[in-house]
């Protein structure tokens, strides 16, 4: 009996419709029976080639964005080579670690960055993706005093100088390599006289801490037990920073990116938290904005969350405002 619908007549048996398997293949764009299924063999290196093509597409998209972001084709090429170096960490390629300067559209002064490092990505995050854009709507009076905990290579202090002309900034950065580039970026931006760089980590109590690097220039943890590539760094408190550099003044903006040490820092903030108007914190390690506000309240502060930006990878950027600030705009 014929089977017009082509129902298989047994396990692994070709369709019994009166047509040959080859005819079915031709009529239905290579539909084949189970017994006739060929083993598809990809040429050697096909998977690698596919991955390379995807990387190439991403690179082209990045170059297209960079063409509008950077001020010249030479700067775009530097960025492209930096990305290429970073994507091939185990290969010996020229220029890795070299410090170059690039210009960003809209800025007259150049920025310093290391080829093959995370610097170019950080530069894009701050000035292309504008991850601190929420500040535009939060700042009333123009901030005059800024404390930047975890200043990295100094792009954030250049951002504060552009957003808040004339502000004085104390930048704290524990990594020695980052601190060198941070100081260079302050000089290149012409703001060295308004920036005080402290090579240390911010902590709840003074002394020394262990800085353990995870591999990237912007990735490290402050711990008591060394792990990975560890060095000892000096620890300073916010109380000490304020008393030495902003005695008798309120802190208009406190930016905090301390790689997971934020809980410790704000758990012991009683002596200074009421003097801060705005806080921007990168939250690590599963610490939620609600938990941070609870810790601050326990120390006598009264802040409200006004924005929370998800950054991916379990990180978020929280913007908090002092509810007792008399100058709220």
Residues 258-310: tens digit of each pLDDT? 877 888 899 999 999 999 999 999 998 778 999 999 999 999 999 999 999 98
Residues 114 and 142 in one domain: no
Mean per-residue pLDDT over the chain, rounded:
82
Confidence check: pLDDT of 178 > 50: yes
In the chain, which residue ranges form alpha helices assigned H by DSSP? 21-27, 46-69, 73-86, 119-127, 135-138, 155-163, 176-188, 238-245, 262-267, 289-298
Strands 201-202 and 207-213 turn out to be unpaired
Residues 96 and 208 in one domain: no
What is residue 102's predicted lDDT score, i.e. its pLDDT? 98
Residues 209 and 91 in one domain: no
**Tokens 């980590």, residue?**
201
What is residue 55's predicted lDDT score, i.e. its pLDDT? 63
What is residue 326's predicted lDDT score, i.e. its pLDDT? 60
Supply the range of the domain harboring residue 109. 50-121
Higher local confidence (pLDDT), 307 or 27: 307
Residues 96 and 146 in one domain: no
Contact yes or no for 132/126 (Cβ under 8 A)? yes
Residues 253 and 290 in one domain: yes
The tally of domains found in the chain comes to 2
> pTM to 2 decimals?
0.79
Domain boundary among 103, 121, 139: 121
Residues 106 and 229 in one domain: no
223 — pLDDT class (breaks 50, 70, 90): low
pLDDT digits (tens, 9 = 90+) for 37-77: 455 554 555 555 565 666 666 667 777 888 999 999 999 99
Contact yes or no for 146/252 (Cβ under 8 A)? yes
Q: Lowest mean pLDDT: which of 79-83, 120-124, 220-224?
A: 220-224
pLDDT digits (tens, 9 = 90+) for 101-127: 999 999 999 999 999 999 999 999 999
Residues 205 and 146 in one domain: yes
In percent, how much of the chain has pLDDT > 70?
Answer: 75
Residues 169 and 290 in one domain: yes
Average pLDDT in the 226-252 region?
89
Confidence check: pLDDT of 9 > 80: no
Residues 177 and 265 in one domain: yes
């Amino acid at each position: 009996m014929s089977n017009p619908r082509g129902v298989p007549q047994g396990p692994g048996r070709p369709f019994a419709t009166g047509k040959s398997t080859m005819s079915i293949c031709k009529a239905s764009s290579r539909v084949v029976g189970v017994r006739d299924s060929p083993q598809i063999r990809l040429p050697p290196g096909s998977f690698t080639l596919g991955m390379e093509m995807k990387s190439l597409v991403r690179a082209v998209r990045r170059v297209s964005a960079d063409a509008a972001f950077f001020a010249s084709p030479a700067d775009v090429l530097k960025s492209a080579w930096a990305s290429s170096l970073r994507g091939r960490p185990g290969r010996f390629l020229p220029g890795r670690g070299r410090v170059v300067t690039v210009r960003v559209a809209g800025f007259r002064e150049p920025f310093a960055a290391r080829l093959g490092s995370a610097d170019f990505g950080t530069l894009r995050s701050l000035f292309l993706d504008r991850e601190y854009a929420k500040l535009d709507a939060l700042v009333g009076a123009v901030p005059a005093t800024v404390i930047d905990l975890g200043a990295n290579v100094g792009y954030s202090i250049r951002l504060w100088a552009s957003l808040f002309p004339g502000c004085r900034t104390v930048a704290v950065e524990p990594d020695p390599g980052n601190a060198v580039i941070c100081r260079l970026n302050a000089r290149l931006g012409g703001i060295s006289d308004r920036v005080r760089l402290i090579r240390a980590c911010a902590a709840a109590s003074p002394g020394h801490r262990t800085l353990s690097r995870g591999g990237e220039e912007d990735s490290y943890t402050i711990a008591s037990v060394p792990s990975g590539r560890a060095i000892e760094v000096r620890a300073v408190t916010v109380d000490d920073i304020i008393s030495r550099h902003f005695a008798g003044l309120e802190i208009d903006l406190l930016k905090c990116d301390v790689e997971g040490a934020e809980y410790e820092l704000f758990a012991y903030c009683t002596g200074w938290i009421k003097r801060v108007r705005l806080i921007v914190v990168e939250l690590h390690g599963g610490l939620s904005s609600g938990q941070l506000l609870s810790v601050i309240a326990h120390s006598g502060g009264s802040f409200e969350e006004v924005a929370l930006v998800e950054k991916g990878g379990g990180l978020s950027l929280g913007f908090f405002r002092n509810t007792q600030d008399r100058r709220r705009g």
